[in-house]
Chain A
Amino acid sequence: MKTMLPRLVFWGLNLWIFAYTLVLGLALLLQFTLGELPCPLCMLQRYGMILSTLAALWLVRQAQTGTLTAPRYLQGLGLGTLGSFVGAVFASRQIMLHILPGDEGYGSAVLGLHLYSWAFVTFCVVILFTALLGIIAPVALPEAPAQDSPAARISSALGLAFLAVVATNAVMIVFLEGFAWVLPDDPTGYALFGQ
């Protein structure tokens, strides 16, 4: 079991990247298909997810290139925890805005919870996950599969998929924000088309 742990931790980091790529991709899908435009706090939560996942991407990349050391691993976990904590603060603010009885919330609910509530749950999960990885760090430094193996290609594809989702968000925000300095509180259309 002890010899399997480094590999499990490596794929756990990949799972972190995959999960947030999926969440960010679904948020974009809801935005483009249902026309649910993100509010400023929604976008801040997306930034929190990206900032947190960048830490996982960095750890995976260093493991792949053989440059990951124990201090660098713990530094990466710290970055991931901090990114998730900030995202959780953003999400909790939006939850509080709609917590009073009778308030229908912002946007549509998925499985009974609004997207900002789900975002808060995911941030908490990541914080717990990084805490667990920190606890077992002395016996489980991530170990990447051999280069050019199918497993290594899957891991690289996950990283590139995450970067593609970030790039899509970057292009989308240009259309949404237009020439304004910040997003309006309740966006009603893509500002670049309306200006």
Chain B
Amino acid sequence: MDIIILFLLLFIGLAMWRGAPRWLVLTCWFGALLLMIGLFRFHVTSSLGLSL
């Protein structure tokens, strides 16, 4: 999943640099955001033990 996210971020950067259509950039940007939130939810499975 990390590999997909990072290569997607790289693709977005290159697409921005080369002046790709706005819909493509925005779709990929929000796609990357959703993948990141999904990965965060996958890793964060326990509640915080903040009481001593």
Does B17 lie within 8 Å of A163, measured CB to CB? yes
Q: A148-183 CB contact bits vs B (8 Å, 1 = yes)? A: 000000000001101100110110011011000111
Interface size on A, residues (CB 8 A): 42
Q: Digitize B25-52: 1 where CB-to-A-CB distance is under 8 Å, 0 elsewhere.
A: 1000100110011011011100011101
Contact of B9 among A54, A61, A79, A183 (CB under 8 A): A54
Contacts of A169 in B (CB 8 A): 6
In the bound complex, how far is the Cα of B9 from the Cα of A108, in angstroms? 27
Shortest CB-to-CB span from B14 to chain A, Å, is 7
Q: Which residues of B contact A166 (CB under 8 A)?
A: 6, 9-10, 13
Q: Contacts A51-B9, A173-B6 given; indicate if A100 touches B50 (C-beta within 8 A).
A: yes
- Given A41-B43, A174-B3, A177-B2, do A61 and B14 touch, yes or no (CB 8 Å)? no
B2 lies within 8 A of A183 (CB): yes
Q: Give bound CA distance, A67 to B19, whole Å.
A: 10
Q: Is A28 in the interface zone, CB < 8 Å from B?
A: no
Q: Which of A44, A100, A163, A176 contacts B10 (CB 8 A)?
A: A163
> For A189, what are the chain B residues with a Cβ–Cβ distance below 8 Å?
none
Listed in ascending order, the chain A residues whose CB lies under 8 Å from chain B are 40-41, 43-44, 47-48, 50-51, 54, 57-58, 61, 65, 67, 79, 82-83, 86, 89-90, 93, 96-97, 99-101, 159-160, 162-163, 166-167, 169-170, 173-174, 176-177, 181-183, 185
